[in-house]
Amino acid sequence: MISSMSTPIIEIRDLTFSFHRQPILIDVNLTVNRGDFLAILGPNGGGKSTLIKLLLGLLKPDQGSIRVFGKPPRKTAHRIGYVPQEININKSFPISVMDVVLMGRLRPGTGWSRYTKRDRVAAHQALERMEILEYRNARIEELSGGQRQRVFIARALVYESEVLFLDEPTSSVDTRGQTELYDLLKILNQSVTILIVSHDLSLVSSYVKSVACVNQHVYFHDAPEITRDMLEMAYQCPVELIAHGLAHRVLDHHGDG
């Protein structure tokens, strides 16, 4: 279990990133501490997924620096689990849940037949953590959207990841499955730092510990609350249009980060 959130594991300083000369992220500064559960919110095209790809080392900033565990992201990739928004697994392909999770243990130069006993134990444990071990021999096509997402998270965790990045993990999951998944993530957060990209503002009051609103700039609040200023700056529209009918608190003041 994580005992303290005082240790920074992600540090972004003065980061700027453009694509085809179009600014995507501008002057971003953000610190994520060990044990955090950070919700990354914002409008489509605001830069949320780009921020995650920069943290993974899949993209390089035009300016500024990123440190994950004190090093450039590519040097710490083995300590990070990632579940992208779209996962390219053909649901009709005859592959078992266990085999999908074991794919997370593959490294360059290894083959399908080279899984060790340690690999299989790790896969077993990851499925158990996501409460889906009973389906280990089922085909991936037989599972519901929520169950498949648990399998993909287990695959991201199977290399004993210390940080988990999730990009819109409930986009194809029904309401019940979403609640069950968030409940599992809350338990998982006891030992794993989590960053989750989402459009679901109701996440804030129920599950996460901090919030970053992203729309080219990043507005950070070190609490499970969304402030009025954050919404108006990130979404660039009246706060009532965003907040109406959603289960979260909107505050009058906040501190940027």
What tens digit of pLDDT does each residue of 83-117 get?
988 666 666 677 899 999 999 988 655 555 578 89
The SS3 assignment for 49 reads helix
Question: What are the φ/ψ torsions at residue 63 (nearest 5 degrees)?
Answer: -145, 160
Residue 177: per-residue pLDDT? 85
- Which one is predicted more confidently, 194 or 224? 194
For residue 254, pLDDT over 60 is answered with: no
Answer whether 61's CB lies under 8 Å from 74's CB.
Answer: no
Question: What are the φ/ψ torsions at residue 24 (nearest 5 degrees)?
Answer: -105, -45
Long-range CB contacts (within 8 A, 24+) of 134-138? 135/97, 136/96, 136/97, 136/98, 136/101, 137/96, 137/97, 137/98, 138/96, 138/97
| E strand or H helix at 56 | helix 48-56
Read off the pLDDT of residues 124-175 as tens digits, 9 standing for 90 and up. Answer: 999 999 999 999 999 988 998 889 999 999 999 998 899 999 998 888 788 8
DSSP codes joined into one string, 153-188: HHHHHTTT-SEEEEESTTTT--HHHHHHHHHHHHHH
In sequence order, what are the residues at sequence separation of 6 or more whose Cβ sits closer than 8 angstroms to the Cβ of residue 249? 204, 205, 225, 226
* Domain range list for the chain: 8-86+162-251
Read off the pLDDT of residues 233-245 as tens digits, 9 standing for 90 and up. Answer: 666 644 443 443 3
Fold annotation for 8-86+162-251:
Rossmann fold (3.40.50)
Read off the pLDDT of residues 207-235 as tens digits, 9 standing for 90 and up. Answer: 899 989 899 999 888 887 776 776 666 66
Residue 193 — pLDDT band, cuts 50, 70, 90?
A: very high
